[in-house]
């Protein structure tokens, strides 16, 4: 059986080893994620647009 006191001591020891990011690092990575999300959204907008135009062209020929 595991001793809860020992478990929490080990958890605390492991958490103290974590290297936490600075405020600047968090802001920079957050900005990068936001910008890449915008780029991805624009990319998929154009892919969707091209697929839609292609399907409408095919359906207008056969429809």
Q: Is the pTM of this model over 0.85?
A: no
Q: What is the pLDDT of residue 2?
A: 76
d(CA 49, CA 12) in angstroms, rounded, equals: 52
Predicted pLDDT of residue 44: 98
Domain limits of the chain? 25-63
- Predicted confidence (pLDDT) per residue in 4-57, tens digit: 999 999 999 999 999 999 999 999 999 999 999 999 999 999 999 999 999 999
Predicted pLDDT at 62: 86
Query: In sequence order, which residues have a C-beta less than 8 Å from that of residue 29 and are 6 or more positions away?
Result: 21
What are the tokens at 21?
């990011």
């Amino acid at each position: 059986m595991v001793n809860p006191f020992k478990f929490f001591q080990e958890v605390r020891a492991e958490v103290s080893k974590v290297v936490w990011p600075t405020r600047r690092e968090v802001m920079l990575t957050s900005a990068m994620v936001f910008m890449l999300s915008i780029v991805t959204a624009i990319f998929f907008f154009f892919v969707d647009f091209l697929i839609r135009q292609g399907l409408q062209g095919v359906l207008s020929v056969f429809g």
